[in-house]
Chains A and B, each alone.
Chain A
């Protein structure tokens, strides 16, 4: 189970339908096969309605697939109950959402601490130190005590990235992380993700509409009509 390129994610024929058993049943994912190794930096692209978000939610253990098998670090998750799934999610997957989604009632530092607080139950000094260190890494050491409402969109997204890394997860899922940021800020955020990827073994799977950003990823996974049409490829030329 060791090695330079340990597999952290494998999807085998993953299907996902909504409204199962009703006349309006709709299958969104039609048997997706995909695997992701430790340290990979991949873009998930595809037109609207192709099932990107559904795939991301399924990989993120927020939704159960209706068919196929999903492995996280070689472990099949189909047999896990809700509690097991929740715990696995908290420890192995970091999320960065398009709309930042920080918790307004907590400061930037507390938001970064939150995944660790959920995991360990009560706050402690190492937790605080790690959160402070992460904020420093995203260049927001000075904003630690600020509430999200006092931060700009780009700053909020940087806090969210720091938060996604709090548990040092093997996999971070980012859903349009630069979606509503200006180009300059979007570039900064992207660079930040790249930097964390380079410095750790954390794999990133990034949903994006922006071909420029997709081109700067090591790997492009394209989803069309609920199926992967292009899973492997060389690094895409920039511009």
Chain B
């Protein structure tokens, strides 16, 4: 193969302008593909992460109370319609066992028992409907990193203390160090010292959430020793649904992933991914056309040289390989240059594309698998694009090529 390589590289070096043009085109193509992939991946992860600031990846709950049809006695008429039951607040049966089982489940990274229900917060003349969460603070912060979102006081959830949303505090006219009363429909009634305020960036959460110790909430919601749900995180957020299905199958409980809850967000991700794919396909096509057209011109320009090489004993197959190698070289070199350009673009984008809070929108970079993929695609594109010009070169009649 040496002969083919020598001639291919020499032809490329000789047609400096053309080589620079196709190399540039290929590099830009590869850079665009890598950059857009990194950008979309990063945007999706960052959007999902933002969404998951306030959500567990998976929430495990007791199964719904279902009304069942009575077994019909013979000759008796049976109710035609069965009304759905109102869902009362219930604890997960044997939740400690469930909890241990979930802790041992593959891919699950954190588990936190929660008892939650509705209540009312009162202070002076103000009263607000709240979502009351009884948590074990050390475990809960591993699900929702409240500690990162404290705007006043500290995250101290211990007997007699509560941490509440910043807007709930404003509505109640309370601040850190004030006391608020919490009552529940189950007849619970207790007073808490507000030790901290958080801002999770979601109005509804900031306006309604109150975090108190698990045991206190159990008493307030009349569920002594029980938990209403177990919150989980998993190692790969996009695997949450899969893990949830496994948990449902294994425990008979209801497991809902963030993906099932945020279907619209996921649909948007799917659309984005599809759009990116289409863009990438077109970029590959354009790069292929660019390489092919430049090589076709090169074949025409080099007719005479090809004819001479054929006269001197080079077979059509070897002439073909000379041009295929040129395509492969251009593709591979374009991928190398393009990867460097993409890395630079990502670095710039990290500084320029910022979210409202000043953090970069792009968090991830260009992963090794993307580089490998980009190089493979570029190599294949270069080779395929070179097929038509190479065949044309191989088919050249040396007599015609040499004449005059």
A87-B10 in contact (CB<8A): no
B3-A86 in contact (CB<8A): no
Residue interface mask A163-203, B partner, CB < 8 A = 1 = 10000000000000000000000000000000000000000
- CA A114 – CA B10 in complex, angstroms? 13
- CA A58 – CA B104 in complex, angstroms? 83
Interface membership of A65, Cβ < 8 A: no
- CA A46 – CA B2 in complex, angstroms? 42
A62-B312 in contact (CB<8A): no
Contact flag A86-B1 (CB < 8 Å), given A104-B305, A105-B11:
no
Q: Which listed residue (B309, B318, B399) contacts A114, Cβ 8 A? A: B309
Interface membership of A233, Cβ < 8 A: no
Q: Which listed residue (B3, B14, B309, B402) contacts A97, Cβ 8 A? A: B402
A122-B2 in contact (CB<8A): yes
Question: Shortest distance in angstroms between A38's beta carbon and chain B's nearest beta carbon?
Answer: 21
- CA A121 – CA B321 in complex, angstroms? 13
Interface membership of B304, Cβ < 8 A: yes
Interface membership of B314, Cβ < 8 A: yes
- CA A62 – CA B6 in complex, angstroms? 24
Q: Which listed residue (A57, A86, A90, A103) contacts B305, Cβ 8 A? A: A103
Interface membership of A142, Cβ < 8 A: no
Chain A: number of interface residues, binned into ranges: 20 to 34
B311-A121 in contact (CB<8A): no
Question: Shortest distance in angstroms between B33's beta carbon and chain A's nearest beta carbon?
Answer: 32
Complex: chain A residue closest to B307, CB-CB: A101
B10-A105 in contact (CB<8A): yes
Interface membership of A235, Cβ < 8 A: no
Question: Shortest distance in angstroms between B314's beta carbon and chain A's nearest beta carbon?
Answer: 5
- CA A117 – CA B309 in complex, angstroms? 11
Interface membership of B139, Cβ < 8 A: no
By a CB distance below 8 angstroms, the chain A residues around B304 are 101
By a CB distance below 8 angstroms, the chain A residues around B137 are none
Q: Which listed residue (B312, B313, B316) contacts A82, Cβ 8 A? A: B316
Q: Which listed residue (A87, A95, A119, A123) contacts B311, Cβ 8 A? A: A95
By a CB distance below 8 angstroms, the chain B residues around A101 are 304, 307-308, 402
Interface membership of B105, Cβ < 8 A: no
B313-A87 in contact (CB<8A): yes
- Near A by CB (< 8 A), chain B positions 297-312 give 304-305, 307-312
Interface membership of A71, Cβ < 8 A: no
Interface membership of A99, Cβ < 8 A: yes
B3-A117 in contact (CB<8A): yes
Residue interface mask B13-30, A partner, CB < 8 A = 1 = 110000000000000000
Contact flag A104-B399 (CB < 8 Å), given A115-B313, A121-B3:
no
Interface membership of A133, Cβ < 8 A: no
Interface membership of B315, Cβ < 8 A: yes
A123-B312 in contact (CB<8A): no
Complex: chain B residue closest to A95, CB-CB: B311
By a CB distance below 8 angstroms, the chain A residues around B305 are 103-105
- Near B by CB (< 8 A), chain A positions 82-107 give 82-83, 86-87, 89-91, 95, 97, 99, 101-106
A118-B3 in contact (CB<8A): yes
By a CB distance below 8 angstroms, the chain B residues around A119 are 313
Contact surface of A with B, Cβ cutoff 8 Å: 57, 60, 62-63, 82-83, 86-87, 89-91, 95, 97, 99, 101-106, 114-115, 117-119, 121-123, 163
Q: Contacts A95-B308, A97-B308 known; list 9 others, CB within 8 Å.
A: A62-B311, A62-B399, A62-B402, A82-B316, A87-B313, A89-B312, A102-B308, A114-B312, A163-B312
- What are 24 sample pairs from A and B whose C-beta atoms fall under 8 A apart? A62-B311, A82-B315, A83-B315, A86-B314, A89-B311, A90-B313, A90-B314, A91-B313, A95-B308, A99-B404, A101-B304, A101-B307, A101-B308, A101-B402, A103-B305, A103-B308, A105-B13, A114-B312, A118-B312, A118-B313, A118-B314, A118-B318, A121-B1, A123-B6
